[in-house]
Amino acid sequence: MSARQPLLILGTTAFSAEIGDVAAAAGYEVVGFIENLSPERCRETHAGLPVHWIDDAAELTATHVAVCGIGTTRRSIFVDQAAEMGFTFATVVHPAAYISPTTTLGEGTIVSAGAAVAAYTTIGRHVMLNRGCLVGHHTQIGDYCSLQAGANVAGSCSVGEAAFIAMGAIVVDHLSVGSHSVVGAGAVVVRDVPDNVQVVGIPARVVREGIEGR
């Protein structure tokens, strides 16, 4: 896939505009945004670019690729909509990020400036690695995970699908974070985190159960 292929960003939030900036730095030609909640939003531009209504975007699938610019793990809903219409997805890596050549990135994943991913690690599909986050060696990051700015997941860890690791959180080595769980900002995880819970604090402790990501 050519980095100069026209790219559309799913979402019209301020964060979506930032993802457009990351994609442009990575060499993509960012040509617009796609909205799926309010057709009226399409009457205005976003970050100086046109906004397309999701139902009208099918005609663009043959010539454009997409990436999801939504920070929550629930972006899977929007991604599924776009995939059903026929979009393929770009994998976007900022030139100021480091990815080991022994690591793999899934389609639709975004790696922002200052992020670093160590050796023999697998990053799933539509993962968000935000500014300055760190992922250690031999770690598995599941589809639709979000690692926010400054998060640090150590080596030989496993992070389940659609988990959300907030700004500045730390997961020490050889641990797992369950699917759809949330690790709060600044938390330090020193034991395995089960599925569908929220943990906060130092050391991290469960404060909510039965959640579905963030």
Question: In this structure, is the dihedral angle defined by the CA atoms of residues 126, 93, 141 and 165, taken in order, positive or negative?
Answer: negative
Annotated catalytic residue 137: yes
Q: Are 129 and 111 in contact (CB under 8 A)?
A: yes
Residue matched to tokens 């598995």? 140
Q: What is the DSSP annotation of 162-194?
A: T-EE-TT-EE-TT-EE-TT-EE-TT-EE-S-B-
Task: Measure the CA angle with vertex 120, ends 115 and 126; round to 5°.
Answer: 55
CA–CA dist 129, 118 (Å, integer): 13
Helices (H) and strands (E) in the chain, counts: 2, 23
List, in sequence order, the alpha helices (H) in 71-204: 76-85
From 46, 137, 138, 174, active-site residue: 137
By annotation, the residues acting in catalysis are 137
